[in-house]
Structure 1
Amino acid sequence: MSDAGEPRLEPADRFGPPEDDIARLWTPHRMVYIGGQDKPADSTPDECPFCRIPAGDDEQGLVVARGADCFALLNLYPYNGGHLMVLPYRHVSDYTDLTASETHELAAMTQTAMRVLRAVYAPAGFNLGMNQGEVAGAGIAAHLHQHVVPRWLGDANFLPVVGRTKALPELLADTRARLAAAWPTR
């Protein structure tokens, strides 16, 4: 307030973080994920995005490939560029409840995903995994999904560790198009 009791306008450069040697990468789009937007209200198939996606357009749903029992799609909130998930069409949460056919195709599609990612992006390695249950870190615990995360030397730099931010070099739509084009046809 000014001496006369009126609001005083301050220049915008007076706000924000103090001057220091830290570079800031603003990622406001991450608030959607952090805030839980679009997270299923319950564990039923009607609320499950993984059950809705196969009925829609592959590009819109980020679907890379489809099999008889399983499909592969990009993670909407990837840990790294090219982060895929392989999952059954059937709404099932526990790995031990998969049928033999689902188990076989999930494994085969995971192998194919690794081959395609190697051909398109040449990662140095992979993280593969399933988080079984919310307590284990599953974002959508009601529908089993296998993560296929390509890794490169030095990709675990300061951004995710300190800044809780991931810099992705390519739009998801472009990644989906490249991987779908490289996926072998059945």
Structure 2
Amino acid sequence: MPEHPSTHDDGLAGDPDGFERLWTPHRMVYIGGQDKPTDPGTEQCPFCRAPGRSDEEGLLVARGEAAYVLLNLYPYNSGHLMVVPYRHVADYTELGRAETLEIAELTRTAMRTLREVMAPQGFNLGMNQGTVAGAGIAAHLHQHVVPRWGGDANFLPIIGRTKALPELLGDTRERLAAAWPQS
């Protein structure tokens, strides 16, 4: 059998094999569980720590009275926002009326702002309640606002388990924060 032209005699891992790779080593902290609190404590919760940081450092786009909006550090698409109550609460039924109303209003404003800045063709909105339902951080409730475009779910996530994002998170945060309506 003929040797593949890119096969080296030493057979070391990482030798060229004709495949292009998109390396995403920053995701290993997420896969490994860093910053994923599983208990009611707030010390390790990234959603409890984020509001104490600068908007730029915490990727915050807007702050309300009971909730805030930030970019997802591990986005499904560019512009993937999350609306998060300040209070460390896991279950939607534990929210108070003011928190529920503000999360709804911030979600509506997030959609409007994303439409203005990024012109998505649709949205996925949702809360994953509990680890079994897909919540990466089940201990602190958060509403996802994911902008969608035709063709954004291409072969990369399916074959390569990789998502190509065309813009740095800091640049996206800056554009969305600048367009966010001031109250």
TM-score normalized by structure 1? Answer: 0.88
The aligned residue for residue 24 of structure 2 is 27
Letter matched to residue 108 of structure 2: Q
Deviation at 1:12, TM superposition (A): 8.3
Root mean square deviation, CA, Å: 2.0
3-state SS of 2:25 partner: coil
The aligned residue for residue 44 of structure 1 is 41
In 2, the alpha carbon distance for the partners of 1:29 and 1:159 equals: 17
Letter matched to residue 133 of structure 2: A
Alignment of 1:58-137 (within 5 A): 58-137=55-134
3-state SS of 2:106 partner: helix
Unaligned runs of 5+ in 1: 1-9
In 1, the alpha carbon distance for the partners of 2:52 and 2:12 equals: 50
| Contact preservation (8 Å) 2:71, 2:169 | yes
CA-to-aligned-CA distance 1:30-88 (integer Å, 9 cap, x gap): 22222223333633122211111112211100000001111000000000000000011
Q: Which has the larger radius of gyration?
A: 1
Of 157, 161, 164, 1:164 maps to 161
| Contact preservation (8 Å) 2:37, 2:138 | no
| Contact preservation (8 Å) 2:35, 2:44 | no
TM-score normalized by structure 2? Answer: 0.89
Letter matched to residue 47 of structure 1: Q
Deviation at 1:141, TM superposition (A): 0.6
Deviation at 1:112, TM superposition (A): 0.3
Identity fraction in percent: 70
Structure 1 stretches of at least 4 aligned residues deviating more than 4 Å after TM superposition: 10-15
In 1, the alpha carbon distance for the partners of 2:69 and 2:27 equals: 23
Letter matched to residue 28 of structure 1: P
CA-to-aligned-CA distance 1:126-184 (integer Å, 9 cap, x gap): 00000001111111111100000000000000111111111111111111000000000
CA-to-aligned-CA distance 1:87-138 (integer Å, 9 cap, x gap): 1111111111111111111001000000000000000100000000111111
